[in-house]
């Protein structure tokens, strides 16, 4: 797998990947999520490709205090080959270059497989409540 920065031509393939991986939700328009990311730190949006085909993605961000990882996805046909690990480490490296001291991410509490994936990468489950408020509706 080759890791590179997302390009606008990747949008359809990335949205298909996110859909295949169950990351798309009715309240989040993936096209708008991509457009928003391209407006803020687009260099922290990475894809993995093999033979010219997008088969993985990760989005990261840094607000000066904490880093965040979003939209980690690996095509189900390519799982079990450490591609997810490669993308997480690439995102962490980019965040570290910006002086990021800690990375946060959110995983649905019932997604035990993904929680275990991150635990194997030395992430811990923090005892916090995630609160949110939608400022812009995508639907």
CATH of the domain at 33: 3.40.630.30
- Helix runs in the chain, H state only: 11-20, 30-39, 83-97, 112-119
In a domain, 33, yes or no: yes
102-119 pLDDT, tens digit per residue, is 999 999 889 999 999 999
9, 92, 12, 82: which is closest to 44 by C-alpha?
92
In a domain, 135, yes or no: no
In a domain, 131, yes or no: no
**Measured in whole angstroms, how far is the alpha carbon of residue 10 from the centre of its chain?**
15
In a domain, 15, yes or no: yes
In a domain, 134, yes or no: no
Range of the domain at 27: 2-119
The pTM (predicted TM-score) of the whole model is: 0.93
34-80 pLDDT, tens digit per residue, is 999 999 999 999 999 999 999 999 999 999 999 999 999 999 999 99
114, 111, 107, 122: which is closest to 84 by C-alpha?
114
CA distance 83 to 79: 7
The number of domains in the chain is 1
């Amino acid at each position: 797998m080759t890791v590179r920065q997302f390009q606008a031509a990747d949008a359809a393939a990335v949205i298909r990947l996110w859909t295949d991986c169950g990351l798309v939700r009715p309240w989040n328009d993936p096209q708008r999520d991509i457009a928003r990311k391209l407006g803020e730190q687009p260099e922290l949006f990475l894809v993995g490709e093999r033979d010219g085909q997008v088969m993985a993605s990760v989005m990261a961000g840094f607000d000066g205090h904490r880093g965040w990882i979003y939209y980690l996805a690996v095509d189900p046909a390519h799982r079990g080959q450490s591609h997810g690990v490669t993308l997480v480490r690439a995102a962490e490296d980019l965040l570290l270059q910006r002086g990021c001291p800690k990375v946060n991410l959110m995983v649905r509490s019932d997604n035990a497989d993904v929680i275990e994936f991150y635990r194997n990468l030395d992430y811990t489950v923090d005892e916090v409540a995630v609160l949110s408020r939608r400022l812009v509706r995508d639907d």
